[in-house]
Structure 1
Amino acid sequence: MLPFNTIQAAEASLGRNLTVAEMLWFKYSANKSDYFLYCHNTIFLLLFYSLLPLPYMIAELLRSRKIDRFKIQPKIKNSFGDMFRCYRDVMFIFVLVVGPLQLFSFPVIQMIGIRTGLPLPSAWEMFWQLLVYVLLEDYTNYWLHRSLHCKWGYDKIHRVHHEYTAPIGFAAPYAHWAEVLILGFASFLGPMIVPGHTITFWLWMIMRQMEAIETHSGYDFPWSPSKFIPFYGGSEYHDYHHFVGGRSQSNFASVFTYCDYIYGTDKGYRYQKEVFEKSREKSKSGKDNISRQDLKAE
């Protein structure tokens, strides 16, 4: 809750007029508790998870020739029932795990210093904090994800997520409850080390959700804005990890590809992509026609 009763008091404390964004924030948050504002994060996660996969679901249901050009594993077709069951199961985990976690993690949020007051962070400050968050999450997630592919971790926990060998948008957070907690730590690490404003925290969680849904969408659209992000993995990159399945020791990266390149865990993917590109060139010349789904190289 803001320690100001009026806008005038807030401006007097800051020694300047409030910006338009700060005026809006004051009007919205002045009489709301910090805990209530923190709970918005869960609301945003549920809302974005429910809405963002819908275009991919519609594409999956339509499955016209034009759409199938962008389907990474075109031999796989998911029904409405398949996708709804996935959504239902994820929502169950949200209620069972994320809800209670929300209740008990608020003291940690207070302790590390994620603030709700004024002034609001500048766009430049938010950019650098978000960059730190994504780099920390990406590197930590790589090693946590890779550790889940050891025999015990995979058999006991990670195999649930790999039930989808051809992932769909709703399957992004589809996982064992323990995996939700383990990989959730990687997402929380950045805000823990470099705490900022709660708006930055909201934005970070929304961005992470958007990225996870896109990389699990099963579609590789050339007009996606993520195509312009350097070293970004994307849907095709992560789809290969699911495509290979439980024995996959490739493409562990969460967002970027540099960890896989540095530690040599993208060799299978690069080999498969090279073979596929050659087969496609032959197909164009009428010499050969090999489906990408027939190339399980690791």
Structure 2
Amino acid sequence: MLAYPTIEAAESSLGRNLTLPERLWFAYSADKSDYFLYCHNILFLFVIFSLVPLPYVFAELRRIPVFDRHKIQPKFRLSLQEMFRCYWDVMRLFFLVVGPLQLVSYPTVKFIGIRTGLPLPSGWEILMQLAVYFLVEDYTNYWIHRFLHCKWGYEKIHSVHHEFTAPISFAAPYAHWAEVLILGIPSFLGPAIVPGHIITFWLWIALRQIEAIETHSGYDLPWTPTKYIPFYGGAEYHDYHHYVGGQSQSNFASVFTYCDYIYGTDKGYQYHKKVLGKLKEEQKRAAQLNGGKRD
């Protein structure tokens, strides 16, 4: 809840007029508790997970050509019933594990210093904090992911997530409940190190969820804006990890690829791409030769 009873009081305390976003934030949050604002995370997770995958689901079911030519594993197709089962399993995990965890973790959020009041952070501040969150999460997630691929971790926990050898967008958070709890640590570590405004925290949760949905979509779309992010893994990169499955010791990165490169865990993927590249080149040459013979 904001410390100012009126906009005038807020402007007097800050020594300036409120910006339009700050006025809107005041209008929305002035009479709401910090706990209520924090609980928006649950709503955002539900809405994003329910809506963002729908274009991929529609493309999968209708086999839309503009999408279909970019499907990474075209031989693998799931029915609507199979995709709905995945969605329902994840939603049950949200209600039984993620939701309650969000409700009880509020004291920790207050302790580390995530704020809800005025002034709002600048766009530059938000971008810098989000960059820190992504880098911290990516590095710590990399090592946890590698641990989950040891014999015990995979058999007891991580094998659930790898039930989808050709991942779909709804399968991004599909995992054992213990894995959801464990991987929540990297997601929370960045905001704990560099605490910011609750709006920045909301953006972080939303963007991380959207990124995971795209990475598990099964489509390597050339027009996605993430193609322009340096060292970004993307759908093709992570799809290989699922394709290899439990024996995979490659492509552990959650967002970026630098850890795999530094620690040598992208060699299988690079060899795979090299072989595929040669095969495609040979097929192209064969098609050109056959075309020349027909002429």
Amino acid at match of 1:6: T
Q: What corresponds to 2:7 in structure 1?
A: 7
1:239-278 correspondence runs (5 A): 239-278=239-278
1: CA distance between counterparts of 2:121 and 2:10? 15
Equivalent-residue separation in structure 1 for 2:57 and 2:176 (angstroms):
23
Match of 2:63 in 1: 63
1:121 aligns with 121
How big is the shift at 1:177? Answer: 0.4
> Which ranges of structure 2 fall in alignment gaps of 5 or more residues?
289-295
Q: How many residues align?
A: 288
Matched, 1:99 2:93: no
1:38 has 2:41 as partner: no
Structure 1 gaps of 5+ residues are 289-298
Distance 1:25 1:183 in 2: 31
Structure 1 counterpart of 2:157, one-letter code: I
What's the counterpart of residue 199 of structure 1? 199
Distance 2:219 2:67 in 1: 9
Q: Secondary structure at the match of 1:124?
A: helix
- The 5 Å alignment of 1:65-214 reads 65-214=65-214
Tell me the amino acid that sits aligned with residue 260 of structure 1: D
Instruction: Determine the C-alpha separation between the residues in 2 that align with 1:26 and 1:55.
Output: 35
Amino acid of the structure 2 residue aligned with 1:30: A
Name 1:296's counterpart in structure 2: none
| Residue identity in the other structure for 1:75 | K
Find the aligned partners of 2:221 and 2:43 in 1 and give their Cα distance.
28
Measure how far apart 1:68 and its partner are. Answer: 2.4
Q: Distance in 2 between matches of 1:64 and 1:46?
A: 26
TM-score (norm 2): 0.96
Amino acid at match of 1:229: I
Instruction: Measure, in 2, the Cα distance between the counterparts of 1:133 and 1:181.
Output: 18
Contact persistence 2:67–2:221 (CA under 8 A)? no
| 2:141 and 2:183 in contact (8 A); partners too | yes
Q: 1:65 to 1:17 in 2, by over 3 A?
A: closer
Distance (Å, rounded) in 2 between the aligned partners of 1:286 and 1:188: 52
Q: Alpha-carbon deviations, 1:179-224, whole Å to 9, x = none?
A: 0011111011000110000000000010100100000000001001
Percent identical among aligned pairs is: 72
In the alignment, what sits opposite 1:293?
Answer: none
Per-residue deviation, residues 126-182 of structure 1 (Å, max 9, x unmatched): 111011100000000000011000000000000000000000000000000000011
Match of 1:218, SS state, is coil
CA positional deviation for 1:228: 0.4
- Which letter maps to 2:192? M
SS at match of 1:285: helix
Aligned residue for 2:184, secondary structure, equals helix
Counterpart position of 1:28: 28
